[in-house]
Amino acid sequence: MSSRTGYAVVGLGHIAQVAVLPAFRHAKSSTLTAVVSGDRAKAKSLARKFRAPEWYTYDEYERCLSSPRVEAVFVATPNGAHADYAVRAAQRGKHVLCEKPMANTVEDCRRMIEACHTAGVRLMIAYRKYFDPASLALKRLVTEGKLGHLRAIHSGFTIQLREGQAPAWRYDPRLAGGGSLMDLGVYCVNTIRWLTGLEPLQAEAYRWATAPERFRDVDESMAFRLVFPEGLVAQATSSFTAAQSSFLRLNGEKGWASLDPAFAYNEERRLFGKIGRRWFQRRFELTDEFALELDAFAHCIQLHVDPEPSGYQGLRDLAVMESIYRAADAGHAVAIPAPGREA
């Protein structure tokens, strides 16, 4: 396409600086028009570094939204602020691409969806896996029936969130919404739902901490089990105090497949497994998944079509994660609300 969609990136923390802002250099249908931060000096410095013609503070957000260059916002603030910045953008007629998790609660997700629907703007949640070539190859194995009916899925995502290196908001449940489950486990939840096309019925969970003082308000580590229709069970783990690792393993009646690493944005992918008696392995070179998702949303805006992953997918993930937290607190399995019946 000849035209480029102009974005304002709202929130200039780590992920924005190392991944989102650099992605505009590789994007073909998207351009960076503005940056917004709580720190005036940071906003000005990063605008210069990444060649954004406009920069604003949070207090000047309304001015940003009045700019004709800004057609869409990429919301990359702490999780607890996603809903407010998204709703305000929608009310000013701007399309919204929001980092995951979509919000802290299902209620806030509904508020975002309704605001965008009322304003007639598009809403997409930044799940990079929908555009990652390796993940798409794994999904084709599932949808084409190469693995047969799925029976078990194992997944995990862990990182070392070292003391003194992480921003304070990650330990504040009002801003983060939770701990490793919200930040890392959400990848497992969403990707499993996306790969299978199924909604989980029941959740069990167990949380633990090796640094209880540091993680007294948010979960350090979480293990959870999701029961799906059609005889499928998924088990996953998230942690803030283990070496960085991420994987997906799908076991079906005809074969199995693994993607490892699965979720980190800065590593090449390996997809391997065995179908019948045949082993297979593919290696996928590192690609800029953030540029792919920026352009995917830009195309939806330019072509006037609804994006996937939609706000509804973000809402469903929150409903599942809220059930996982309830299960961990209760110490027994809990039912997950059916689609359309989220609290």
Q: How confident is the model at residue 9 (pLDDT cuts 50, 70, 90)?
A: very high
pLDDT cut 70: percent of the chain above it: 99
User: What does each C-alpha distance from 174 to 81, 169, 218, 233 come to in angstroms?
Assistant: 9, 8, 10, 31
Residue 278, burial from CB neighbour count under 10 angstroms (0-12, 13-18, 19+): exposed
Q: What are phi and psi of 9, to 5 degrees?
A: -95, 120
User: And the tokens for 60?
Assistant: 């000047």
> pLDDT tens-digit profile of 211-254?
999 999 999 999 999 999 999 999 999 999 999 999 999 999 99
Residue 2, pLDDT above cutoff 70? no
Task: Kindly report, residue by residue over 93-152, the tens digit of the pLDDT.
Answer: 999 999 999 999 999 999 999 999 999 999 999 999 999 999 999 999 999 999 999 999
Proportion of the chain in helix, strand, coil states, percent, rounded to 5: 40, 30, 35
Question: pLDDT digit string (tens) for 49-100?
Answer: 999 999 999 999 999 999 999 999 999 999 999 999 999 999 999 999 999 9
| Stated pTM of the model | 0.96
Q: Which fold has domain 129-276+319-335?
A: Dihydrodipicolinate Reductase; domain 2 (3.30.360)
Say yes or no: domain 5-126+290-309 is CATH 3.40.50.720. Answer: yes
Q: What is the DSSP string of 111-165?
A: HHHHHHHHHT--EEE--GGGT-HHHHHHHHHHHTTTT-SEEEEEEEEEEE--TTT
State residue 323 phi and psi, 5-degree precision. -70, -40
Q: Is the pLDDT of residue 39 over 70?
A: yes
Confidence of residue 164 (pLDDT cuts 50, 70, 90): confident
pLDDT of residue 202: 98
| pLDDT band at residue 342 under the 50/70/90 scheme | confident
Residue 325: predicted pLDDT: 98
Domain boundaries in the chain?
A: 5-126+290-309, 129-276+319-335
